[in-house]
A and B are shown apart, each in its own frame.
Chain A
Amino acid sequence: MNWEEKIERLAARAQAERTPRVDVTQSVLHILASGEAQPLTAAERLWMWLAAAASAVAVPAATAALILYTRSAGPLNEIVEAISWAVR
């Protein structure tokens, strides 16, 4: 029996296992009633969307800025700039 067969047979056997009974009804309703967990308000959700949109714009902008900076600050670029009058 190879490893995969073993695992498949174990998994098949484990299908019949008993799960401990839990009753979370009271605890969940208690948490919700006590206000420990509340849905986000409309304003909070708006801020969340804005933050996500701002991040989505900021990351490509920062990447593009970094690429442009490394290009313009390269040693080869400095030489070309210095002799640009001759090229012209």
Chain B
Amino acid sequence: MSLNVRINGETRSVEAEADTPLLWVIRDELDLTGTKFGCGVASCGACTVMVDGVATRSCQTFVGDLDGSEVTTIEGVKGPVAEAVQKAWQDLDVVQCGYCQSGQIMSAISLLSEVPNPSDEDIDIYMGGNACRCATYQRIRAAIHQAAGQAEG
């Protein structure tokens, strides 16, 4: 069936069943490959996108349930918080293999949008659903602190 999806500020028409995970619509139909498939069961966070500004696991979100919601992927993030997060990630060279990092960055942006100056504990709780097999966690923590300072300052 034909569905309209609001994504990164545009309305795109896609051919998909309503129960198709948003992840696969984003990747295979809309060709936005920055959002990753890691587990398919919402336990790794690699597929994290924003739905109406809130970090959401796209592998467990049916495209038919979006109902006009605004989806933002790593390709579409903008604004001072997103820029501060991406810059901090680059300054500190957080990435290793990088496959989880789109999801990490989406979660970090979502965290800083809710809690502008998070503690280590806030970070550990909020970022707990984003796995990184390269174990870049200490740099993720440091980058979120740096971004918090810059987005505020």
A and B assemble together = no
B interface list, Cβ under 8 A from A: none
A interface list, Cβ under 8 A from B: none
